[in-house]
Structure 1
Amino acid sequence: MNAPYRARLNREPSAFRKAAVPIASVLIGSMTPLLPIVASAPVLPPFGLVVLICWQLLRPGIWPVWAGVPFGMFDDIMSGQPVGSAVLLWSIILIALDLIEQRYIWRNYWQDWFIAALCLIFGLAGGLAINNFLVSDTRLSVLYPQMILAIFTYPLVLRLVARLDHIRLKR
């Protein structure tokens, strides 16, 4: 009598899927600069960083603190930024998110959005500062549209990451 249900009880999600879905989503998000979009100023949000922040805020502790190094290196290679800039900035952002998680355990949606906005602004402004130091001099006002678009795409990307998390933990 219980034979049909026995195969569905006490099953764990696939270990490969649990590990691969978050990693693949961040890497695919980092590949968005390869899309053929022509603009005179940066407009496309850093989707790799947005996805990384969404995963960390949705599932605290999913990334070790050092995860910013390989993800940042991949993002630097894909986006054409100076090598090491995203490594540094993403690592700082993950450390800050880890400290925020330890300090403020219970947060609501608006606080997470504010935290993500601060992280995105820091990541974009820090990338511009590193680029200005190494290559050219660009004003911060050039990044305002990209910052605003990145902040407003956070809820959409968070919804996508929540759906991916559901797929990841599906039995």
Structure 2
Amino acid sequence: MNQRIRGAFDDDEPTLLYRLIPALSVMAGSLTTIVPVIAGIGLLPPFGLLMLLAWRLSQAEAIAIWAAPLLGLFDDLVSGQPTGCSMLLWSLCFIAFDLVDQRLVWRDFWQDWALAAGALAFCLILGRLVASPLGAHVDTVLLAQILVSSLLYPVIVRLVAWIERTRDPA
């Protein structure tokens, strides 16, 4: 039995729901793609990816690195992307963020925003290359989607901060 002996001043172990809330919020963000929205062009940002980036950049330990491919699989199944596309791209983003965390001593909000914008552009461009033929004329819409998604990042960070504040048991 490898149970750790708790001392008088040790924090209580977090509940299962406390640990699942970040993943459930990313899954809820991925589920926004099934909401019927009538639009002339596809500018709907990838809310699942935005939630994942916001959790990873604001609370690094909230979502484990091994959870990115599982959440990516859920996003692939819900959004209609080729299976494995989000799994690979989200995992690569997490690995890149870990490398950045090793190099930088600290980051501020502007650096997080720049990292998120780069990760969004990376995932959307490579997702476009995988999902649609090269002859498709979607580059202008893709650039607009990257811009809208990048500008929406601070709102999603505020939402994640609110979720974090409400889930905090203290």
Instruction: State if a TM-score over 0.5 links the two structures.
Output: yes
**TM tier, shorter chain?**
0.7 to 0.9
Aligned: 1:54 with 2:54: yes
Match of 1:6 in 2: none
Cα distance change of structure 1 residues 50 and 136 upon mapping to structure 2, 3 Å threshold: same
Deviation per CA, 1:124-168, whole angstroms, max 9, x where unpaired? 1111011135x9734322212211110011000000101111122
Give the 3-state SS of the residue equivalent to 1:65 in structure 2.
coil
Aligned identity (percent) is 37
Higher helix share: 1
Match of 1:86 in 2: 86
Residue segments in structure 2 that go unaligned for 5+ positions in a row:
1-8
Q: Structure 2 counterpart of 1:98, which letter?
A: D
Question: How many residues of Structure 1 are paired with residues of Structure 2 in the alignment?
Answer: 162
Residue 11 of structure 1 and its aligned partner are, at CA, apart by 6.7
Match of 1:146 in 2: 145
Contact 1:13 1:168 in 2 (8 A): no
Contact 1:56 1:63 in 2 (8 A): yes
Q: Structure 2 counterpart of 1:73, which letter?
A: L
Q: Distance in 1 between matches of 2:169 and 2:135?
A: 48
Aligned: 1:41 with 2:47: no
Map 1:1-171 onto structure 2 (within 5 A).
12=12, 14-132=14-132, 137-171=136-170
Higher relative contact order (CA 8 A, sep 6+): 1
Contact 1:132 1:138 in 2 (8 A): no
Superposition CA RMSD, Å: 2.0
Q: Structure 2 counterpart of 1:114, which letter?
A: A
Residue segments in structure 1 that go unaligned for 5+ positions in a row:
1-8
Residue 87 of structure 1 and its aligned partner are, at CA, apart by 0.7
Deviation per CA, 1:85-122, whole angstroms, max 9, x where unpaired? 11111111111111111111301111110011000111
Contact 1:128 1:138 in 2 (8 A): no
Q: Structure 2 counterpart of 1:149, which letter?
A: V
Q: Distance in 1 between matches of 2:13 and 2:151?
A: 32
With normalisation by structure 2, the TM-score equals 0.87
With normalisation by structure 1, the TM-score equals 0.86
